Amino acid sequence: MSEKAKEKVKIVSQECIGKDIYSMWLQTDRIAKSARPGQFLSLYTRDGSKLLPRPISICEIDKEKDRIRLVYRVTGPNTGTEGFSKLHANVSIEVLGPLGNGFPLEEARGKKVFLIGGGIGIPPMLETAKQLDAEKKIILGYRDELFLKAEFESYGEVYTATEDGSAGTKGNVMDSIRKNGLEADVVFACGPAPMLRAVKAYALEKKIPCWISMEERMACGIGACLACVCKSKEVDSHSHVNNKRVCKDGPVFLSTEVEL
């Protein structure tokens, strides 16, 4: 796991790329050098009434320019994410990171891999796709409006599913996999719990390893507060119960290690 620390970073650019979806590039002194696909940052708001940071997955890493890209969804009015969306270039904010364990790219090198993203679980799969040396089939699930699809197309075959059928397969990512007759040796996935449950069941049926990045509400982001635990097969050395801390032990888990 990479060394983490709080750092004041500068916003390079920010733009809206879809309904309530924003893309923000950050200039860092240290974080980009050690960040890996599947990790996340905790961003501190500039609103003194909101003390806890907000976790946002890393979408892209530019190690040459020491920059990190975050793509996030504004979750509602008067939220931390709404506050972030109002910031502009040259504004500084505090972040903690990189946090979490990231995807085990070495486990999939040279194999046939599904990279599956659903909703706001799509952004972290972009840097994963860029760095993974494998035969990639990228399956992206949306409610309706597409975002980041064109960028994924540089790194593998892209298949889409939309709930309303406006693009790609009507339905979800599993409908797209079945309709297109896709097969893989390994699965990496990030998205909402119902999607991850279906992906886990598929991987068990096919007897292939599957790593999932879990989305949970977090507080401290470093494993101290136990606000983001999930049920696990093994007893956690910190809490001494069958829990895993998503922020500290994850957010990426082998799907058979956790309950969904």
User: What is the amino acid identity at position 102?
Assistant: G
The residue segments making up the domain with residue 135 are: 111-203
- Of 173, 203, 233, at which residue does a domain stop? 203
The tens place of each residue's pLDDT in the chain, 260 residues long, gives 445 679 999 999 999 999 999 999 999 999 999 999 999 999 999 876 677 889 999 999 999 999 999 999 999 888 899 999 999 999 999 999 999 999 999 999 999 999 999 999 999 999 999 999 999 999 999 999 999 999 999 999 999 999 999 999 999 999 999 999 999 999 999 999 999 999 999 999 999 999 999 875 544 444 444 445 555 556 555 555 456 656 557 699 999 998 88
Shared domain check, 127 and 56 = no
Nearest to 187, CA basis, from 101, 252, 97: 252
Q: Is residue 228 part of a domain?
A: no
> Domain total for the chain?
2
- CATH code assigned at 79: 2.40.30.10
Handedness of CA 221, 259, 243, 127 (dihedral sign): negative
